[in-house]
Amino acid sequence: MARSICLRALTGTPKTRQQLADLLASRDVPEAAAEAVLDRFTEVGLIDDASFARAWVSSRQAGRGLARRALSAELRAKGVDPEVAAAAVETVDDDDEREAARRLVARRVGAMRRLDRATATRRLIGMLARKGYNGGLAAAVVREVLDEADLAGDADDLPEFDEESMLP
């Protein structure tokens, strides 16, 4: 029974050993049987937390632009050993992280054109913070991208919003 539960769970996407252990526990599989199946699956390579962590980091950093701190937190939440998670996260260097932050900000800066620079800066830094970027890097990247986009100049060209003119 434990074997078939694990095989079905691994069919869709890779899982960590901890995720499978939690699944087996939720299905009331006896602990001894669960450990035996998990040990065997690890032995034959069906469960490989290091490989899972490397793939997770690569996918989430490229696709969602997450910083190393956020990637580490996600791996911890999935039950990956801290040393294994750290080794996987080390594959993302400072340049990769900075470039991902630039891409995220560049994608969002167009929607910020109607805002004043201070508001746009605050929102963009907040977005980067939620993705795990530290404040210094976030501020530097936002400043660079906004300077390149000349957001302040564009915002000055917009007409002022007059609330009274909107009333019937």
Which CATH number is 85's domain given?
1.10.10
Residue 75 contacts residue 62 (beta carbons within 8 Å): no
- Average pLDDT, stretch 1-12? 87
In a shared domain, residues 60 and 72:
yes
**Over pLDDT 70: what percentage of the chain?**
89
The pLDDT assigned to 166 comes to 37
Global confidence as pTM? 0.76
97 and 129: one domain?
yes
pLDDT on residue 99 = 93
Look at residue 7 in the predicted model and tell me its pLDDT.
87
Domain residue limits at 32: 2-47
Is pLDDT larger for residue 84 or for residue 62? 84
